[in-house]
Amino acid sequence: MAELVDAPDLGSGVLGRVGSSPSSRTTINFMKSALYIFLFLFAAFSFNAVNLFAKTSVNRPVIIIPVNGEIEEGLAHIVERGVKEAELNKAAALILDMDTYGGKVQAAESIMQAIARLKIPTYTYVNTKAISAGALISASTKYIYMAPQSQIGDAKIIQMSPVPFLGGAKEIDKGLKEKAYSAVRAIVRSACEKNDHPYQLFEAMMDEDIEITNVIKSGKLLTFTASEAVTQKLAVAIAPTLDDMIESIGLADAPQKVIITRSGEHLARFFSSMMISGLLLVLGLGGLFIEIKTPGFGVPGIIGITCIALFFWGHYTANLTGWFPVAAFIIGTILLILEIFVIPGFGVAGISGIILMVGALILAMIDWVPGDWSNTPSLNEISASIAVVAGSIIGAIALIMLAAKFLPRAPVVRGIFLADKIDKEHGYTAFNEKNYEQWINKTGIAKTTLRPAGKAIIDGILLDVVSQGDFINKNSQIKVVHVDSNHIVVEKAT
């Protein structure tokens, strides 16, 4: 009969018999409870995090920037403000609400560069027109939507006269065409590569020599209707309204923030536009010149100073210029006045003044601060500014000539141009070398202010005279001191 043998006591070993004692079972139950609690809290946290993320995503605003009217530096400043707003608020999208016939290429480039740095989705809603520079700007956004009966294209670069009555739009000279197009092509090409747009279509909008089979023939610029833009995959779709577009991209519930143009920005856009800038310079330079050439201070000086001040203020507010060009223009004007009224002859002061004044006007239209060589202006930007200033100077000269012709008796021009014939019947006399000496030591009255040249009445005869460099007021007693060549030199009588 077999004997029952007790099994060995494993609990006496090193490992022991886990779970066999009440304390071990309590520990396991506690760990299980802690695990269940942890899993519950993790699930609850994850659910709330998802809801929080979704809520935050919905609350991220849609930034809408109206791109209306002429594209110029003032508008570029507004767009840059909108881009900063989108970055600051981590916007869900930035939308350009576009309706424009175009404008300055330099301003369009600034807008494209500002949009290119955004990390959020960007859209263009062509709300009727995206012509010329507007079409190029649309390439800088990721998606393009079209309103019904809208158009996009016709982006050929042309030259515009800065002076309204000195011509309008004209084609760029063939020798400069490639230089003008090269930089613009590169910017548009980069934008198309980044946003997956068909660059060839934009190139055909800029250059009529580009031919695309079944799209556009050589010799014509490309412009699409809304349906054509969608068919050629330039645009995503046609949206009846901007709100419809926003709904189609899944942001109907997102708050919308429209970048409203401030009153000062409205004025800055107006005064910094090409045509108004040119007109301000024409009136400003013409008014200052007339004021310098006539005695006293009157309407021409007020008009001149006001127009020049509006010119600089518009470009300063548009974030194009700083105080350096303003200071340079003021210093140049002071030097020119000193040269005319104080320093005899015309030399270093006068030439330096003119250079400073012209240079200040050119710099005011360029988005560049002297000394900042990391952001030097392009050749196109410099040449455009020079063209505006040169055209304005020509316009000012034309304005003075027109004023002299049609307003000969107006006080503002009477001191510059002769309104009457300078014959004997009007009190003038012609003299030669033999009768020059007769005027020495004679006295008379200054008919005009001598600066130093002017007119005086001596022995009842109106003569051209010149002072010895001194400023002599009108109606002052003068005395002839000597005759130099064909000049009658006078001084103030004591």
Least confident of 93-107, 263-277, 363-377: 363-377
Q: What is the sign of the dihedral through the CA atoms of 106, 110, 113 and 115?
A: negative
Q: Report the pLDDT value the prediction gives residue 174, as an integer from 0 to 100.
A: 62
Q: Report the pLDDT value the prediction gives residue 56, as an integer from 0 to 100.
A: 45
Tokens of 405: 């012709």
Mean pLDDT of 132-136: 94
Of 35-44, 294-303, 356-365, the range with the highest mean pLDDT is 356-365
| 353 pLDDT above the threshold of 80 | yes
Residues of the chain with CATH 3.90.226.10: 57-261
State how far the Cα of 170 lies from the Cα of 392, in Å rounded to an integer. Answer: 17
State how far the Cα of 34 lies from the Cα of 28, in Å rounded to an integer. Answer: 10
pLDDT in tens, 456-492: 888 888 888 888 767 788 888 888 888 866 678 888 8
Phi, psi angles (nearest 5°) of residue 347: -145, -135
CB 236 within 8 A of CB 143: yes
Residues of the chain with CATH 2.40.50.140: 424-492
Q: Report the pLDDT value the prediction gives residue 454, as an integer from 0 to 100.
A: 82
pLDDT confidence band for 51 (50 / 70 / 90): very low
* H or E segment and range at residue 170: strand 169-171
Closest CA to 236 of 195, 266, 199, 200: 195
| 136 pLDDT above the threshold of 90 | yes
Tokens of 106: 């330099």
| 426 pLDDT above the threshold of 80 | no
Mean pLDDT of 134-145: 96
CB 440 within 8 A of CB 482: yes
State how far the Cα of 197 lies from the Cα of 209, in Å rounded to an integer. Answer: 20
CB 353 within 8 A of CB 333: yes
- Average pLDDT of the chain is 77
- Is the domain spanning 424-492 CATH 2.40.50.140? The answer is yes
Contacts of 460 (CB under 8 A, 6+ apart): 427
Q: Report the pLDDT value the prediction gives residue 8, as an integer from 0 to 100.
A: 43
Closest CA to 100 of 146, 69, 135: 69
Q: Report the pLDDT value the prediction gives residue 12, as an integer from 0 to 100.
A: 41
What pairs with residue 482 in β-bridges? 489
- Which CATH code for domain 57-261? 3.90.226.10
70, 121, 249, 405 from 244: Cα distances, Å: 26, 17, 9, 60
pLDDT in tens, 186-213: 999 999 999 999 999 999 999 898 999 9
- pTM for the full predicted model: 0.59
